[in-house]
Amino acid sequence: MSLPSVTPAQAQAMTAKGNTLIDIRDRADWLREHIPGAQSVPLDALANAGPFSENDVVIFHCQSGMRTQTHADKLAAAAHPATALIVHGGLNAWKAAGYTTEVDKRQPLPLMRQVQIVAGSLVLGGTLLGTFVAPGFYALAAFVGAGLMFAGISGWCGMAKLLAAMPWNKA
C-alpha cells in the first residue's frame, strides 16, 4: 500500500489549519531536530497515536520519506479512520524548501552517526597503527569490518547497543 504524499509547502499549510503532523523517527532524533508543532510518535509507539475521527487529516513524516513509504500500511492503520498523508522527502525536503525546524544542539548525535564515527575512527586507527607500529593492529580494522558486516546481515549491531548505553545517550 502507498499513501498519498504532499509537498512540504502543502504540509505546512495543512498544519497551519490545525491538521496533525506526526514525526515517526526515534524520540532522540526528534529531540535533536523537529518541525515546529510536530508530535513525536515513533514507529514502535504508533498505537499511542490518536484517536482520530474520519474528518481528521494526519500527516506523517520521517527524515527522508523512505520510512513513511515503507511503513504506509502501519501509518494508515494508526490514523484510521482519518485521512493519512506523508510528506514527500520528509524532514530533509522540509528544510530544503526553506522551512524552519527546532534544533537542540545539546542533544547527542543520532546513534547511527555515532556508530559511523567510532567505526571509522577504529578502522583508520587500526590501519595507521598497523602500517607504522606493528602489523598486528590490522586486526582491529578487520574486527570492526567483520562487526559491521555482521550488523548488516543480522540487523543486530553490538557497537550501536554499546553506544546507546553511554551516559550521553540517556534521555
Per-domain residue ranges for the chain? 5-103, 111-169
Grid-cell match 494508515, residue found = 76
Confidence of residue 77 (pLDDT cuts 50, 70, 90): very high
Q: Residue for cell digits 497551519?
A: 16
User: What architecture (CATH level 2) is domain 5-103?
Assistant: 3-Layer(aba) Sandwich (3.40)
The mean pLDDT of 20-47, rounded to a whole number, is 95
**Per-residue confidence (pLDDT) for residue 171, from 0 to 100:** 64
Active-site amino acid positions: 62
Question: For 115-144, what is the mean pLDDT?
Answer: 98
> 54: part of which helix (H) or strand (E)?
none
